[in-house]
Amino acid sequence: MSGIITKGIGGFYYVDADEHIFECRARGRFRKDHIVPMVGDWVDIEVDDRTKQGYVINIHERKNQLQRPMVANIDQVIIVFAAKKPDINISLLQKFMVYGEYVGLKIVVCINKIDLDEENETEPIKAMLRSIPYDFICTSAKHEIGILELKERLRGNISVFAGPSGAGKSSLLNSINPGLYLKIGDLSRKTERGTHTTRHAELIKLAFGGMVVDTPGFTAFDLVDIDEAELQYLFPEFQKYLNCRFPSCRHYKEPECRVKQAVDEGNINSIRYEHYIQILCELMKNRRY
C-alpha cells in the first residue's frame, strides 16, 4: 500500500494508508543509506495482516523538505506570530519568510492575538507585508477573528504552522478544527515566552479538507545553508531592481545600486531592506569562519 507518514516517534512511523493508520518501522537499508523517513513523506509499506504493523519499503521523491521542523512535501507555510504577549520579533519573522522562499513554499503570515493590538502597533508590519506582497491574515483564536479566512487558506493544502512558542498556533488549530484538543501552554511570567506544548511534528487531517503540521515552537533560526549571493533572490520585491551597475552587487556598500535607490524612493520597504542587510552581514560573518 501507499500512504503518507503523519508522525514519527522513537523509530516508529505512523502511515495513513487505505483509510487506516499503520504503525511501521523503516527497513534497515534506509539507515544504511543514511535516509531518514520524514513526516509528510509519501511511502510504500508492507503490512502484516495479523498484527496490522508493517515496514516502510520505499520513499517517493520529495518535492521539498524542511529541516526545522523536519517535514516534507509541504505546499505552504503559515508563519504565526502574536501581535502581543509575546511581541513580534521582526528579525525572526524575516528569517522565517526568507527560509520559506528558500525552500520554495507559498508564504502566509498570520498575526494572531490581534485583539490585544489596541494601539494598532502592528500597522508597520502589515505595511511591510503588503509591499512584498505577501498574503497575511489577522486572527484571534479567543474571539474567533479571522478563523474562517484562515480555513480557506488551509483548505486542500498541506500546510506547516511555524513560529515562536506562545504565538498561539495550537489555539488556532483548535479553533479551526474543533475536536483536536491540542495542548495549550501558558506564557512564562518571567520571559513572556510560550511553553513548548508540541513535542514532535505531526501531520493532522483537517475535517474540512487539507492537512496541517503542528510543530514545536522555537525562537532561534539559522540560515547557514544560504549563500550570501543567493540571498537577494529570496526577497521577491528586489527582483525588478537587480540590474545594478556591478553584476556582483550585494546592494550593501556598492555605488549606483538600484536596490538602494528603490529603498530611497520608497519602492522597497525600508524595514525589509534593513533586515536584508542584517541577514547578509550574518552570512558574511559565517563565511569568514
Annotated binding site: 112-115, 163-171, 244, 249, 251, 257
Comparing CA positions, the residue from 108, 101, 103, 105 lying closest to residue 79 is 108
Annotated binding site for Zn(2+): 244, 249, 251, 257
Q: Which residues are annotated binding-site positions for GTP?
A: 112-115, 163-171
- Dihedral pair phi/psi, residue 18, rounded to 5°: 55, 40
Nearest to 279 by CA among 235, 237, 223, 236: 223
Q: Report d(CA 32, CA 147) in Å as an integer.
A: 45
Q: Are 134 and 78 in contact (CB under 8 A)?
A: no
Residue the block writes with cell 484538543: 181
Peptide bond into 86 cis (omega under 30): yes
Instruction: Retrieve residue 117's grid coordinates.
Output: 493590538
